[in-house]
Chain A
């Protein structure tokens, strides 16, 4: 079945550092890949969507690109701020047609001032 793997459980950076979070996926169809962000005390909210049509998504300074060859899609940001501290989830839209989401285990990003 479809799956996503997010191995980085925690990332700690300083302000203005470069952020890179990787996620790998497995699916039998053309994937729709998503990144969600969850701030403390809130539910996840959609940050970016990437499809085979666009290969890349950009929002709020974040950029996500997918690589079909390595079945990976990563989230990056050139210069993080303390306000970016949150949990970031990658997700895959299930290929069975129900369009349910399969979530990665999440990466806790802490940005030190």
Chain B
């Protein structure tokens, strides 16, 4: 399968814990996005990388959220410390740089529950 791979699919954390979500983009894609999805807020952009350089870090999410792109084929999103309000689905997406929407592929997401 050549799509975007996210692990784990589900994560349960206690308040105050540190969690790390993982994403492998489509091979050859240069742009990588992290989104948070909730029923109330919809899809919110957390981070955006182009060729491993952080282009946008999602403003309101700066303090406890940190995304990194360790190499062109692997990215992590760390939430430290977690809070119950962080419960959401976290989606990773990748595309060719400056490409059109046809090249944007999403992973299936990680559902995070913070108790």
Contacts and interface: CB of A to CB of B under 8 A. Distances in A.
Given A43-B91, A46-B102, A100 B108 contact: no
Nearest to B40: A105
B55 interface: yes
A89 interface: yes
Contact of B93 (A43, A49, A98, A105): A43
Interface string B95-115: 000111110111111000000
Contacts of B55: 98
A19 interface: no
Interface residues of B, number: 22
A99 B98 contact: yes
B54 to A, nearest CB: 13
B102 A44 contact: no
A44 B93 CA distance: 9
A45 interface: yes
Interface of B: 4, 33, 41-43, 45, 48, 55-56, 91, 93, 98-102, 104-109
